[in-house]
């Protein structure tokens, strides 16, 4: 077998194995709960009969291994069982399926992530390229300190600064600036569009309105991941420019533009693609906080809500989706790195 295919298959197998182990951990954490789940939901004063009825209605009275196999089998087909909210076994029509709750929210989160990626990836690559070309110049220095600050700031800080700007430009930052300064800064901020500080979308929201409402969360996420992406792009291009063939191209008398476009970039795509896939995985974390800040109805917010109300099937499903996305994107990053590695492509 070709070594590339073998390595890729190995990596895929390892990814699947990791995902399996993660699913076991996510599922078994439910078993850790002392006194069983029913007591936690129904309260300590619940009678044994109520607890038994609750357990039976959710199928919690069967052995864990059976339930795990069922849960995993269902999860693979997109069925995560019933939510604990409204469960209790008294009324069948109150029971809600986890997949029904997650479905529309999954679309929303995917929408936000895709929008962020569309904005962030071109900006990050352009910035990284320029920072590498004009290394140690003023542009590089400014970009460097700005990105270091956004990396170190919590996402909600970046988000609220943006909200403050979006809201403040309406009243000329009256509450932020001392008296009389408002009219002075007005001409400088009047170009900022009147962005909605809350991203309240619903199922029937038209596409462009959805984009408009999700723009502030997307910019927040962009600021956070562009910093990582740009720094890694810069580092990989700088290490690339240190290669002898770049020096050769320069010595031949090629223009800097030709050196970059003809000689550096073709070799840079692989590391850049890896960087992008790796950083998009970071969105998994960012999306949770940002969705809560902007009350955007996505999986992140759902997970936080379900953790607060201890609705475990929903929390588990969200955790599994996030974990699978994260593992998948890291896998993609790895596979891109393997496939584009010339040492593996041309074996001796």
The answer to whether 316 contacts other proteins (rule: CB under 8 A) is yes
One of 298, 322, 336, 338 touching other proteins (CB under 8 A): 322
Contact between 18 and other proteins by CB under 8 A: the answer reads yes
User: With CB under 8 A as the contact rule, which of the stretches 108-116, 221-229, 242-250, 305-313 interacts with other proteins?
Assistant: 305-313
Task: Mark the segment that binds other proteins (CB under 8 A) among 70-78, 129-137, 168-176, 232-240.
Answer: 168-176
Distances (CA, A) of 250 to 39, 104, 163, 245, 326: 73, 54, 47, 9, 41
235 forms part of the interface with other proteins (CB under 8 A): no
> What 3-state class would DSSP assign to 197?
coil
Interface with other proteins includes 216 (CB under 8 A)?
A: no
Which residue from 133, 163, 230, 272 is in contact with other proteins, where contact means CB under 8 A? 163
Which span sits near other proteins by CB under 8 A: 53-61, 91-99, 146-154, 227-235? 146-154
In which residue are the tokens 């590089």 written? Answer: 140
Helix, strand, coil percent content, the chain, rounded in steps of 5: 75, 0, 25
Instruction: Supply the minimum distance, in Å, between the C-beta of residue 5 and other proteins.
Output: 23
Give the residue from 85, 4, 149, 20 showing the smallest Cα distance to 315.
85
Angle (CA) 154-156-157 rounded to 5° is: 70
| Span from 61-69, 218-226, 314-322, 337-345 in contact with other proteins (CB under 8 A) | 314-322
The stretch near other proteins (CB under 8 A) out of 22-30, 64-72, 223-231, 233-241 is: 22-30
* Closest approach of other proteins to the CB of residue 186, in Å: 14
Closest CA to 298 of 195, 218, 194, 208: 218
The structure tokens listed for 13 are: 């197998």
Closest CA relative to residue 269, chosen from 345, 337, 328? 337
Least Å distance, CB 84 to other proteins, is 11
**Residues in contact with other proteins, total (CB under 8 A)?**
54
Tell me the helices (H) and strands (E) count for the chain, helix number first: 17, 0
Dihedral sign of CA atoms 174, 176, 177, 181 in order: negative
If binding is defined by CB under 8 A, does position 136 make contact with other proteins? Answer: no
Minimum CB separation of residue 207 from other proteins in Å reads: 26
> Per the structure block, which two tokens stand in for 341?
């590695």
Residue 82 has phi, psi (to 5 degrees) of -100, 145
Q: Which residue ranges make up the site for other proteins (CB under 8 A)?
A: 18, 21-22, 25-26, 29-30, 32-35, 148-149, 152-157, 160-161, 163-164, 167-168, 170-171, 173-176, 197-198, 284-285, 288-289, 292-293, 303-304, 306-308, 310, 312, 315-316, 319, 322-323, 326-327, 330
């Amino acid at each position: 077998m070709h070594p590339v295919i073998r390595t890729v298959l190995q990596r895929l197998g390892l990814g699947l194995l990791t995902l399996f182990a993660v699913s076991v951990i996510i599922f078994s954490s439910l078993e850790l709960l002392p006194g069983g789940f029913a007591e936690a939901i129904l309260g300590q004063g619940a009678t044994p009969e109520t607890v038994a009825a609750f357990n039976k209605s959710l199928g919690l009275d069967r052995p864990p291994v059976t339930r795990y196999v069922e849960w995993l089998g269902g999860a693979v087909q997109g069925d995560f069982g019933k939510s604990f909210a409204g469960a209790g076994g008294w009324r069948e029509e109150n029971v809600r399926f986890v997949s029904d709750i997650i479905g529309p929210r999954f679309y929303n989160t995917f929408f936000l992530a895709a929008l962020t990626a569309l904005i962030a990836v071109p900006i990050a690559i352009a910035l990284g390229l320029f920072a590498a070309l004009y290394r140690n110049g003023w542009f590089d220095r400014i970009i460097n300190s700005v990105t270091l600050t956004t990396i170190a700031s919590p996402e909600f800080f970046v988000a609220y600064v943006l909200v403050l700007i979006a809201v403040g430009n309406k009243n000329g930052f009256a509450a932020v600036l001392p008296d009389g300064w408002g009219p002075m800064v007005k001409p400088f901020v009047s170009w900022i569009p009147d962005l909605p500080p809350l991203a309240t979308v619903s199922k029937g929201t038209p596409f462009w309105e959805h984009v408009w409402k999700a723009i502030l969360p997307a910019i927040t996420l962009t600021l956070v991941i562009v910093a990582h992406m740009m720094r890694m792009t810069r580092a990989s291009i700088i290490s690339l420019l240190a290669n002898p063939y770049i020096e050769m191209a320069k010595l031949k008398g090629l223009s800097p533009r030709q050196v970059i476009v003809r000689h550096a970039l073709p070799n840079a795509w692989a590391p850049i693609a890896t960087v992008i896939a790796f950083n998009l995985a970071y969105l998994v974390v960012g999306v949770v906080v940002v969705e809560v800040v902007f009350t955007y109805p996505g999986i992140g917010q759902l997970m936080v809500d379900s953790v607060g109300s201890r609705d475990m099937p929903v929390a588990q499903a969200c955790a599994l989706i996030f974990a699978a996305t994260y593992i998948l994107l890291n896998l993609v990053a790895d596979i891109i790195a393997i496939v584009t590695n010339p040492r593996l492509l041309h074996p001796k």
